[in-house]
Amino acid sequence: MTGAAFVNTETLARFPRVGVVYGGQSAEREVALGSGRTVIRALQEAGYQVAEHDVTGRPELISWLQTTGLDLVFPVLHGRGGEDGTLQGLLEWLGIPYVGSGVLASALAMDKLRSKWVFGASQIATPPFAVVRSAEECTALASQLEYPVMVKPVHEGSSIGMSRVEDASGLSEACALAFQFDTEVMIEQFVVGKEYTVAVIGDQALPVIGLQPASGFYDYNAKYIADDTHYALPSGLSDAKEAEVKALSVKAFQALGCQGWGRVDLMMDSAGQPFVLEVNTIPGMTDHSLVPKASVAHGWPLPELMHRILATVPEQRA
């Protein structure tokens, strides 16, 4: 059964009281507040009792987790402290079941450099890259690169601290911005082509979404603020190419050991070769976000999506 009437009585019985932790203290706090509100509403509409906690400090969070009497935690903390394995480790230690990827997979997916290493070992196509750890290393590399490139903090999400650089003259400034957020900075070959994203629920890929911001690249403004970003849903790909992109996305998700739900971002060059950029283990759930769009297009209203995500929580974790 699909549609608004879908109810998973098994997950309702396993997890009648769900705690949503959202907000947080990372650079992605504002996004996580919006995502959390979406998840809270969807869980309530799906029939779950929901307790919510806006994370503003660790002692308060630990006290809340220990005293609220939760059957399950649904983390909606984007970025450091929530998406990088830290929260997942705390929940493991407290013995509280939770939605999504475990400690190792969360840490790997949040780390753009080390996830690239896994992609390479798994024969998953990803753009060439270099890593710098100082302004001097950035300057020394400038004349050796093929432009354009993307400059990214290794451990941030939501395109925070990210820049597209067209030539060597702009590299130092872009690295300086990225170093404001991280001690490791990735310089990645920009793939000239189209950008796509794929939501993964369990081992199933939802419809591919094509992304076309009005200008520049799919940055923070295009993701969460601007209303002129174009979303191609259906993607416009042939059936065979859509299936290829979906399969590649699931392969990347599983290569990092991810579980539950997530989103895989890709670029496709002019020859039709897809390249995986990264895997997001706690994707955005705001009114601009892509997982809700893909879910509805697939025939799953958000309450049904909640049922299906909760159904992925392994028995041993529960």
Which is the catalytic residue, given 182, 219, 278, 304? 278
Q: Read out DSSP for 146-192?
A: PSSEEEEETT--TTTT-EEE-SGGGHHHHHHHHHTT-S-EEEEE---
In three-state secondary structure terms, 67 is helix
In whole angstroms, what is the distance from residue 102 CA to residue 106 CA? 6
Are 248 and 242 spatial neighbours (Cβ–Cβ below 8 Å)?
A: no
User: What does DSSP say about strands 129-132 and 163-165: parallel, antiparallel, or unpaired?
Assistant: unpaired
Which is the catalytic residue, given 26, 235, 280, 289? 280
Is 272 tagged catalytic? no
Q: How many C-beta atoms surround the C-beta of residue 120 within 10 A?
A: 11
Which is the catalytic residue, given 263, 289, 304, 308? 263
Which is the catalytic residue, given 265, 289, 295, 304? 265
Which is the catalytic residue, given 28, 83, 84, 188? 28
Is 28 tagged catalytic? yes
Which is the catalytic residue, given 157, 161, 224, 260? 224
Q: Read out DSSP for 205-241?
A: E---EEEE-SSSSS-HHHHHT-S--EEESS----HHH
Is 147 tagged catalytic? no
Which is the catalytic residue, given 23, 81, 85, 284? 284
Is 221 tagged catalytic? no
Is 265 tagged catalytic? yes
Is 22 tagged catalytic? no
In whole angstroms, what is the distance from residue 106 CA to residue 282 CA? 9
Are 292 and 285 spatial neighbours (Cβ–Cβ below 8 Å)?
A: yes
Which is the catalytic residue, given 101, 158, 249, 289? 158
Is 287 tagged catalytic? no
Is 284 tagged catalytic? yes
Q: Which residues are catalytic?
A: 28, 158, 224, 263, 265, 278, 280, 284
